[in-house]
Amino acid sequence: MNKKTVWLTGGGTGIGKDLTKLLCDNGFDVVISGRRKDKLIEVAKYNKKKIFPYKLDVSNLKETDIVAKKIIKKFKFIDLLVLNAAIYSPGSLKEISPINAKKVIDTNLTGIINCLPIIVNTMKKKQKGHVIFVSSPAGYRGMPGAGLYGVTKSGLTFLAETLKIELEQFNIKVQVVHPGFIKTPMTDKNTFPMPFLMSSEKAAKIIFSKINSNIFEIYFPKMLLIPMKILSFLPYRIYFYLIKKFVKLPE
C-alpha cells in the first residue's frame, strides 16, 4: 500500500499509545501529540523513523494552529486524523465548578474542534481523507456519575455525526469510537467496579481492525455497549424510572 501519514492526538498513553504502535507496524508514519513531552518521546522510541512527537495542548488554539501548520509543512498531507486527546472527569453534577467545567470542555470538545480546520481544509482540497473521533458511551444519554466527561463526549459524538454527513461530499470518511472501560492511567482513578474492563492493547486492535471498514460507529465491548444502546432508545419516562431504580447515585 502507499505510505500514509496519521496525526494522533493524545498519543502518549493508553489507547493512543497502543494504536500508534499498531499503525506504525502497518506502514503508517505516525505524528503523535500530547501535553507531556516525556511520554511522547517514550512512545517514539518504538520506531524513531516512523513516529514523530509534537508537544501540544489542544485546548490552546494558537498552539494548535502552529503545530498543525508545522505538521502540514513537513508531511504535506494527513491521510488520517485520530482525535483522541481527553481529560477524564466523571462524577456528580450536583455541584458544578465553572473552572473545572471550562478545563474539561476546552480539552474534550473545543480542543478537538481546534485540530480540525487546517487538516480538514487540506482534505477538502485533495478530495480525500479520514477523521476518527474517540468519544465515549458516557455520552449516549444522561447518566448519574458521568459528569462533565459525559457532557463533552455527548457533544463530540454529535459533532462526529454531523461531520459524517457534511464531509461525505468531499470524499472524507468520518468514524466515531465508543469504547467501554479501558485500563489506562485515566481510569485507574476510578473507585468503582468497571464491568468488562479491557486492556488498551486490545482496544487499539479493535479500532485498527475497523479503520478500513465502512462502519461509522466502532463500539466495544458489545456485552456492555448493547444494553447501553437499548437504554438510549427508551422513552424518557421508562429510562428515568430504570436509572433511578438500578443505578446508584454518586455521593
Cell 470538545, located at residue: 109
Parallel/antiparallel/unpaired status of strands 217-220 and 182-183: unpaired
The reply to whether 149 belongs to the active site is yes
The secondary structure of 124-151 as a DSSP string is HHHT-EEEEEE--GGGSS--TT-HHHHH
Separation between Cα atoms, residue 196 and residue 125, nearest integer Å: 42
Helix or strand holding residue 173 (H, E)? strand 172-179
Parallel/antiparallel/unpaired status of strands 217-220 and 172-179: parallel
Catalytic residue (one of 149, 219, 236, 239): 149
Separation between Cα atoms, residue 22 and residue 64, nearest integer Å: 25
Q: How far is CA 113 from the centre of its chain?
A: 12
Separation between Cα atoms, residue 5 and residue 234, nearest integer Å: 41
| Active centre residues (catalytic) | 149
